[in-house]
Amino acid sequence: MTRISVMGGSGYVGGELLRLLVSHPACELQTVTSQRYAGEPLYRVHPNLRGLTALRFQEHDVEAVAAGSDVVFTALPHGKSFNIVPDLLQRGLKVVDMTADFRLKDPKAYKEYYAFEHKHPELLEKSVYGLPELHRADIRNSELVAVPGCMATAAILGLAPLIPDGYIDTSKIVVDAKIGSSGAGVSPTIASHHSERSDGVRPYKVTGHRHIAEIEQELSQLGGDGVKVAFTPHAVNMVRGILTTTHAFTRTNLTERDLWKAYRARYAGEPFIRMVSDKKGLYGLPNPKVTVGTNFCDIGFEVDSHIQRVIVFTALDNLTKGAAGQAVQCFNIMNGVDEQTGLNALGLHP
């Protein structure tokens, strides 16, 4: 049994992580920290955990967390983990980091996309980008895994099969993302106020979004040319879920048969990738509604021969496959546990 602690367990990602860990058969949850809620029972913040655990939130104390843990999940705000992770690693613990602090390999990118100087650039090469479908072998041997951003996960998984064989023009890819309100985190703002958010579709951070750095980094590693992505997210009237619609322009006359071959070659045997490209039915293309609470990523596509375009649709739950579920998937791989352990939940319908 692996002893687990979660640093920063009061947010939406932390809560989803706890939902998955309290019933994980290979985990023994030891400590959950929160400065704001220290001393309170977990269920006071996450009511779905009532009756499932007697744990209470504790203050952030690296020494106390390290003393009772084998693996630590860090679900802190961006820019906070790199003050804690080096100490945890020095004490011989494995770390699954939920922030952006170790996702990017270029330390200069942190100044451009996150407006801070990285304090431990020496750890960026040591960390492994926690996308199992691309980096499973490296995750297995890693002590520090950086869990990808939610919208970055959707965009990368949708595009990865098209990059290596030169199917598309990698200098001009357009990703349109729709995301539910939980993606904005637990701290309220005017943008999350019900009367502002409800019944609307709001584009935000239309250019220069942080996830561009991850998407371009990971996709560029798959192909010889540098990948350039135009990425624009939209806040929509749902609580959980992401749908990305990606427009890529082909270099050759691609057929649906070519695309099926590429996606099957890349994702054959992947337990959490589902191909959804059906000519019949209401759910013939990915829809985040049926992925809520699951670790599935649904991918579908259409070919637009009129303008030599491929449209790729990717749907997932931003809190599960987009964050906590993916973190647990990485934990399983790091610790020699069957990859699907604790992640077998099915979506709801309707």
Which residues are marked as active site?
150
Q: Hey, what's the torsion of the CAs at 49, 75, 80, 218, to 10 degrees?
A: -160
> What is the residue whose two structure tokens read 């309707």?
350
Q: In 3D, which of 238, 240, 336, 215 has the Cα closest to residue 292?
A: 240
Per-residue HEC secondary structure of the chain comes to CEEEEEECCCCHHHHHHHHHHCCCCCEEEEEEECCCCCCCEHHHHCHHHCCCCCCEEECCCHHHHHHCCCEEEECCCCCCHHHCHHHHHHCCCEEEECCCCCCCCCHHHHHHHCCCCCCCHHHCCCCEECCHHHHHHHHHCCCEEECCCHHHHHHHHHHHHHCCCCCEEEEEEEEEEEECHHHHCCCCCHHHCHHHHCCCCEECCCCCCCHHHHHHHHHHCCCCCCCCEEEEEEECCCCCCEEEEEEEEECCCCCHHHHHHHHHHHHCCCCCEEECCCCCCCCCCCCHHHHCCCCCEEEEEEEECCCCEEEEEEEECCCHHHHHHHHHHHHHHHCCCCCCCCCCCCCCCC
176 phi and psi, to 5 degrees? -110, 125
Task: Using DSSP bridges, classify how beta strands 27-33 and 2-7 pair: parallel, antiparallel or unpaired.
Answer: parallel
Chain centroid to Cα 55, Å, comes to: 26
The C-alpha atoms of residue 237 and residue 240 are separated, in whole angstroms, by 9
* 97 within 8 A of 74, measured Cβ to Cβ: yes
